[in-house]
Structure 1
Amino acid sequence: MSASRAAAWAVADPYATALRTGRGPLFLRRSDGWLLPLEVERWCARADAVDRAVLDRCEGAVLDVGCGPGRLVAELAGRGRTVLGIDVNEAAVDHTGRLGGQALRRSVFEPLPGEGRWGTVLLMDGNVGIGGDPRALLDRVNRLLCPGGLLIAETVAVDVDERSEVQVVDGAEGRTGGGAFPWARLGTPALLRYAARAGWGADGQWTGGGRRFVALRSLPRSRIRVGGESLIASSSAEPPNSTAVISSQRARKPSADRPVADR
């Protein structure tokens, strides 16, 4: 999803309001009227036992894509881990900072710090649907990870492979915020199919608390897939210059294994 398409989610006022209050009801609404409930209360709470078990699997520096109000970033920071959250919504970034985490207001498809050096990327809470194009998202995540890096994604509990245009809807008042934006819903079988076609290695799948998760290993840096084709690429990756908003209460020192730094 381009920065302009991400803006539709970023200015979705009902979403920002829900994050500030810590409660819904909030939905994604398809053009046919179907509603997908968003678990605002869980997202705004502290990391639960299922979340913590997922975070136990993280390796190296962690990038939480679509971090929302920052419960996972805060949990990892509390463990002393190097972690950065990114989200296109200002309220989400602010909330993460108040929890003591570090976050950027940024789309995953925009330049990010530490590209090619992250040990783990998280796509939790349905964020495997970001951009509405699973192949493009997997390609992008592969370029963010170090060679052999780990992607942990949360999938839908049923076997579904769906792409649609959605809007954020306030369930109490029926208000919508921003324009429609592309989204995808993937079950575990669908995600594994996309990953296999792109050359990712399967590293495990599990369930917890009624939620489902998949772990994948990134491609060797010399074989990045772009548009379905395998390309040769350098193993080095320099973090791009950035003017993005950073919310942080922790000083960071950049190094080869710590790609997060105050900018």
Structure 2
Amino acid sequence: MREKILLSGEMNTSKTLSLVSLAVLYPDSKVVILDPDDGTEKMLDELGIGDLPNLTVIPVTPDFEVLIENYRLAKGILGKGDWLCFDMMGRFWDFAQQYYSQTVFGVSHIEHLMMLKKQAQSTSFSGFDGLQDWPLIKNLHSADLIDDAVLWSPFNVMATTSVTNFSPKEKVPTVGTLGIYASEFGIKPEGEKHNIYRFDSQAVLYRKREGTYHFRMVRDRGRNVELKREFNITGKSFMEVYAEYRGL
């Protein structure tokens, strides 16, 4: 069975380490990490890990055409049992908006919003058109990249994302997967809002004050989820502990 895993958490909670560790845990599998923040190379240097022959790190920039080209090259070498990883999923959503704005309007996303804000003279103006712009941006981000990898490819997928709190103006969800994130942790994963419905297995990673690292499951499709159960991954990786727990 394919694994499709989303790991959420604040900074310094071992999210990127969880991706790198896949190459160590599964030496016979290829691991490709799409890295928008230079975090993987820094993690390898920090850990003193040399070249891992089965690990490929692909830097990601706001140029979505290059990203899609690199993704398709990676997809061509990955098969069943291999891993494709997205580090910091929220950045991919930002890049999709940035690329769309630059391509369609000739200016950056923030420049476009500032111009429209000035024209509208309204603090409630949202920027992109809800009927025309957002569906195209979502297709750029999802159909050509995330959905293609998560839904229609033979390899495993692991992604990480940072988290944010709910704003005072937001209606805090009480049901569903997002309701669990809200009620159990008071957070929501960053990135395109439908990401949480794409990944079968989801966990929140966190670091305690004494310096230990842990995770709790939020969702695990087809498997029983113990929401309150805490897993200690100090000195280990997410997948090492999760695979042992699930007997994978």
Considering the TM-score relative to the shorter chain, is it more than 0.5?
no
Q: Which has the larger helix fraction?
A: 2
TM-score (norm 2): 0.31
Greater relative contact order, per chain length (Cα 8 Å cut-off, separation 6+): 2
Structure index of larger Rg = 2
Q: Which has the larger strand fraction?
A: 1
TM-score (norm 1): 0.30
